[in-house]
Structure 1
Amino acid sequence: GSTIAHIGAGTGYYSAILAELVGSSGQVTAVEYDPALAEQARVNLAPWPNVEVVQDDGAAWPRSDVDGIYVNFAVERPADPWIERLRPKGHLVFPIGVAGRPRSPGGPRHTLRGGVLLVEKSGSEHPVRVVSPAGFVCAEGRLAVSEDERERLAAAFDGGGAEFVKTLVWKRPVDPARCWYAAADWALSYDPPQE
């Protein structure tokens, strides 16, 4: 059975689906930031003994190596554990998007522009593809980026070409001219993986 981290578990709907997919020999760790949602997920997921619900910031999870990570909220950069705790040949699915303003005072932010990425772990250059354009609720907690990074990501979406991205480069120097988007320690490159 596979081990899966579900980051942004909400009330547990997708965690239950993942639990069924990995079977009784697999394990799902469902991480939810909001305490009320995490408690509801505990109740809803009680019939699945292979699911552990954790109330915490998804930026800190997973804490041990896993075969797959499914993220249910948009970010402007992947969290370090999402890449570093993923086993070789494991898969990460996460929405990347530019956060807009809350629709109501104190409400959640949603993406202005975004897409879902499918990443396969492989060295420090990981094959990636854009699965589809998407809009999501945005991350809460520690996954904030600088205004400069947010503006550059918005410019990348505005410029188009995300469908041509082939590699997520992690903590290695890159040629920004060969990238759809490049930040200080990671990038989405048009070039195929080198490793």
Structure 2
Amino acid sequence: MEEKWLTWAKQIQSIAQAGLTYTQDNYDYERYIELRQLSTKMMETYTDYEMKTIQQLFANETGYQTPKVDVRAVVFHEGKLLFVKEKADGKWSLPGGWGDVGFTPGEVAVKEVQEESGYVVKARRLLAVLDHQKHPHPPSPYHIYKVMIECELIGGNAAESIETSDCGFFAQNELPPLSTGRITESQIEMLFVLHNDPALGPVFD
């Protein structure tokens, strides 16, 4: 579903970053720098981002490039799903964020729920591992794997956070406006199906 130009730009960036990491030839090093610059120019041309922002987001890493990991907590209570309202865009998503070094995916899910909603949960099972570019998200400079972990509500109280301004449980037929860079309606539909049938295994890709 991802635009071809964005896929190509990310592939060029990945090749350039790997080359900069492993090459021992000065001539090749300069060519990889040129490839990285080409990828950022493509992003600047076809998006509303400024070059400085693109360089910070898209071409600032070193080492072999790998996908980023976005962990989302799936918390059901009385048939409804927990959402948090993102201050960044005023829309709603599942609690979560980038995976943290030193934490397991389950630990990240638990931590993000408490930080973003005030609720205390326990991670129970893996529901899905999804490739961001295979789903109807807006274009992203990153290649992202989304890890969805079902959690059991065990305590806490609703609260705001630095990143969120509200939280609440919603039924499938009353979804709030979604922050589609983080979660999509089709993914929410999939999560309700998985929750309602514990015999189903994790979904991937």
What TM-score range do you get, normalising by the shorter chain? under 0.3
Considering fraction of residues, name the structure with more strand. 1
Structure ID, larger Rg = 2
The structure where helix makes up a greater share of residues is 2
| TM-score (norm. length: structure 2) | 0.25
Which structure ranks higher in relative contact order (CA pairs < 8 Å, sequence separation ≥ 6)? 2
